[in-house]
Amino acid sequence: MSFDLSSRLAERRSAHLYRQRPLLASPQSVHAVVDGQSLLAFCSNDYLGLANHPQVAEAMIEGVRRWGTGGGASHLVVGHSGAHHQLEEALAEFTGRPRALLMSSGYMANMGAITALVGQGDTVLQDRLNHASLLDAGLLSGARFSRYLHNDAQSLQQRLGKASGNTLVVSDGVFSMDGDLAKLPEICATARHHDAWVMVDDAHGFGCLGATGAGIVEHYGLGLEDVPVLVGTLGKAFGTAGAFIAGSEELIETLIQFARPYIYTTSQPPAVAWATLKSLQLLRDESWRREHLARLIAQFRAGASALGLQLMDSPTPIQPLLIGDSQRALQLSAGLRQRGILITAIRPPTVPQGTARLRVTLSAEHSEDDIARLLEALQQTLASLPEMNT
């Protein structure tokens, strides 16, 4: 008996859920060449416009000259370079925590942290809309796994009442498909009442939220006691690659000893860490990027509302337009592309059934004219499509 892969693929095509990879032929930028077409892009997580910043690129080149191109081995063998170590120290200082630990990807950071902290006999409780990497890690940890209603402290409270062993409450900081913020003060207070730890994946908050760009924990004025485990990724607002976990001395030493994705993975190229030191400096020093981004968000939300589009409750650069029907979302995406605008249609299973959307993401590299062009293209595309049957 063989695997029937063709029918699985055909089923996905018929449901308008088939995924394809756009081919980028230019550096990461709001002005991109994709599949041979020059487009104004609104689908990158490069929120601060640092992925192709000349100073970051120069730091990468300098890093290659100084450290070579590869990590060579895991951090625990001989792959932990001075570049990695300096970045860990800088990230610890940035987050206001004693230590930080570099990981090769956000997926691995979440997998490593959760599986190292909880196991059989313990409990892990997660927001229903958490990123897939968090959910997968909870399932693979061997701990009792449950999901509470989105951003609902009362739902969390009910599940905490049934928890056993060490209990870890896990939430995104900014929810990647909706763009809304975790209600961390309520979540942390509820967890503390039950002697549970809180872990936050702030992949989409770092660089965008907080007075210095230090993310959602800074935004709410919380600290290490509130959120003992803080995860961030470097491939979004930082503009490079990799991830980190920040916390206490004991947490980081525990992860070094027990986090299998850290122990058994070759370190990221040291040049990437060296470049990230420069992007971290720009992120902290150039607050105008966050200020400009805030103005673009306000401009887009006002314009989209005027067009009658259904926005979601997001104060962040992630500005989804809720469409509902997957085929309709694909049609809108295709119509925008014909007008020189690149926005990805996000469909199930990435989002719940009936909530297909255009996930608009804004960057400090965009201009106000770019936002005006996007709004005009949305208006034209909507007018060109037939009304939906209800």
d(CA 358, CA 183) in angstroms, rounded, equals 24
State phi, psi for 360 to the nearest 5 degrees.
-80, 125
| Residue 359 Cα distances to 42, 99, 223, 224, 385, angstroms | 8, 34, 31, 32, 19
pLDDT at 389: 52
pTM for this entry: 0.94
Note whether 215 and 209 are within 8 A (CB): yes
The stretch 198-209 carries a mean pLDDT of 98
Model confidence band, residue 308 (pLDDT cutoffs 50, 70, 90): very high
Q: What is the pLDDT of residue 27?
A: 93
Task: Tell me the pLDDT tens digit for each residue of 216-231.
Answer: 999 999 999 999 999 9
Name, in order, each residue with C-beta under 8 angstroms of 384's C-beta and a sequence gap of 6 or more.
335
Judged against a pLDDT cut of 60, whether residue 120 lies above it is answered with: yes
Q: Which residue, 177, 193, 75, is CA-closest to 185? A: 193
From residue 64, alpha-carbon distances to 68, 69, 274, 281 in Å are 4, 6, 9, 19
- Mean pLDDT (whole number) for 15-35: 92
Confidence of residue 1 (pLDDT cuts 50, 70, 90): low
For the chain, residues classed under CATH 3.40.640.10 are 54-285
- CB neighbours of residue 280 within 10 Å: 24
* Residue 2: pLDDT over 80: no
Residue 59 has a pLDDT of 98
Residue 174 DSSP code: B
Q: Find the angle CA(201)-CA(207)-CA(210) to the nearest 5 degrees.
A: 85
pLDDT tens digits for 329-383?
Answer: 999 999 999 999 999 999 998 899 999 999 999 999 999 999 999 999 999 999 9
User: What number is the average pLDDT over the span 266-274?
Assistant: 98
Helix (H, G, I), strand (E, B) or coil at 229: strand
Tokens of 156: 């969390």
Q: Catalytic residue positions? A: 176, 204, 236
CATH homologous superfamily of 16-48+287-384? Aspartate Aminotransferase, domain 1 (3.90.1150.10)
Tokens standing for residue 300: 């887009």
Residue 15 has pLDDT above 90, yes or no: no
Structure tokens at 272: 């990437």
User: What CATH fold (topology level) applies to the domain 54-285?
Assistant: Aspartate Aminotransferase; domain 2 (3.40.640)
The string of pLDDT tens digits covering residues 31-74 is 999 999 999 999 999 999 999 999 999 999 999 999 999 999 99
Q: Residues 142-196: pLDDT tens digits? A: 999 999 999 999 999 999 999 999 999 999 999 999 999 999 999 999 999 999 9
- Number of Cβ within a 10 Å radius of residue 19: 8
% of residues, the chain, pLDDT over 90? 95
Q: How big, in percent rounded to 5, are the helix, strand and coil portions of the chain? A: 45, 15, 40
Output the pLDDT for position 390.
43
C-beta of residue 273 within 8 angstroms of C-beta of residue 63: yes
As a whole number, the mean pLDDT across the chain is 96
Look at residue 201 and tell me whether its pLDDT is greater than 90. yes
* pLDDT tens digit sequence for 234-250: 999 999 999 999 999 99
Q: Could you give the residue range(s) of every CATH 3.90.1150.10 domain in the chain?
A: 16-48+287-384
